[in-house]
Structure 1
């Protein structure tokens, strides 16, 4: 199967304000986020990306706009990769939410967390993983098993996908860190995913390049031998 780049959107105005933006309209990138987004074209210059899938929210579209134009990629918008619907928590300050009884559930037992007037984190993972699997099958069929494709989505959504790929229960997904404009990489095979990078904010793209040979579903006994010279 193909190799997936999970890109969190660049820093938004809400990221620095201490407010839970959720699906609020009109939340774009701030100055730092625009700089991060501008660097994507050079950062991924050596990576052949066959398809680009994005959340419908503004901050994701702004993150990939310049990169997509440079590659002549038409982003595929998928609602299933949108931000968590935080319901009544949307637009509230994080400092206020930490006092809510549900906050400790979100932190310690997220699989049981359902946001008032919104959705549960278990549902978020189910919809996001289903979308990823569907697109991965599409990309593999259209471009081959060595294809690389990318998704631009949101922190909790990406963390839930990584937890699934790692075989980690959703209750452990808060242990995964996904910073703005970070890249995580998953290579899917017939029997298991391989997680190649998590929360990478650097410029080394060697782990994003497709394998020279068909990817195997078997893990290397003793550990990987590393990238070949």
Structure 2
């Protein structure tokens, strides 16, 4: 199956001021966010993605456009930010005093945001969206295809947690920074998580269709760890 590059959008003013932006309209990248997206575009320039898919929210579309290098950006509602309901637009410092905050930290699988979405629903629709797109691209571009999915921190954490076999209650152990890259290769037997929260590492392994094809058709894990990408 293809390899998905999960990319968090660049930094926004809401990130800096500690406001839970959620699905609020008009939340775009700040100067640092735009610079980060441009730097990420340079890192990804050698990669030829089969598709560039994005959450429809502005900050993700801006990031996706920066890395798309003229390719079309396809919006996918499955990658949209969690609907935080009544928490949307409120300062995080204020939300920390809510009883639900402790549940978000310790038992996220039981969280339903007031007037909004449950984190279990977020994980389900995001994983479904990624796997559906992955299967479509395998059919149209082959098992060695690579594609970009630009989304939000909690959404990406939920997808990576599922790929790692982590219960959703452990997804808060993951960190996904602005403009970071997390890479998952799905196979018939299991997903392989190749990168998590990569903000500066070499992404050259994504340039080799032959390596991706070999990984995509090999569902067995390497016993003993193997010699790494360079030896494949």
Aligned to 2:226: 224
2-structure distance, mates of 1:55, 1:223: 35
2:115 counterpart of 1:117: yes
Alignment CA distance shift 1:17-1:199 (3 Å): same
Helix, strand or coil at the partner of 2:114: coil
Aligned to 1:59: 59
Instruction: Give, in angstroms, the shift of residue 66 of structure 1.
Output: 2.6
2-structure distance, mates of 1:184, 1:158: 8
2:138 counterpart of 1:140: yes
Aligned to 1:183: 181
RMSD of aligned residue pairs (Cα, Å) = 1.1
2:76 counterpart of 1:38: no
Helix, strand or coil at the partner of 1:228: helix
Contact map agreement 2:53 2:64 (CA 8 A) in 1: no
1-structure distance, mates of 2:72, 2:60: 14
Aligned to 1:200: 198
2:25 counterpart of 1:25: yes
Contact map agreement 1:83 1:153 (CA 8 A) in 2: yes
Alignment CA distance shift 1:46-1:116 (3 Å): same
1-structure distance, mates of 2:171, 2:66: 31
> Which runs of at least 4 in structure 1 moved beyond 3 Å after TM superposition?
none
Picking from 135, 140, 159, the partner of 2:157 is: 159
Instruction: Give, in angstroms, the shift of residue 191 of structure 1.
Output: 1.1
The more displaced of 36-45 and 9-18 is 36-45
Instruction: Give, in angstroms, the shift of residue 37 of structure 1.
Output: 1.0
Picking from 100, 103, 118, the partner of 2:101 is: 103
Contact map agreement 1:46 1:205 (CA 8 A) in 2: no
The more displaced of 127-136 and 59-68 is 59-68
Instruction: Give, in angstroms, the shift of residue 211 of structure 1.
Output: 4.4
The more displaced of 196-205 and 147-156 is 196-205
Instruction: Give, in angstroms, the shift of residue 40 of structure 1.
Output: 2.4
Picking from 79, 82, 87, the partner of 2:80 is: 82
- Could you tell me the TM-score, scaled by structure 1's length? 0.96
2-structure distance, mates of 1:49, 1:116: 38
More helix per residue: 2
Residue ranges of structure 1 left out of the alignment (5+ in a row): none
Aligned to 2:3: 3
Helix, strand or coil at the partner of 2:51: strand
1-structure distance, mates of 2:168, 2:227: 30
Contact map agreement 2:54 2:151 (CA 8 A) in 1: yes
Residue ranges of structure 2 left out of the alignment (5+ in a row): none
Alignment CA distance shift 1:126-1:99 (3 Å): same
Instruction: Give, in angstroms, the shift of residue 9 of structure 1.
Output: 0.2
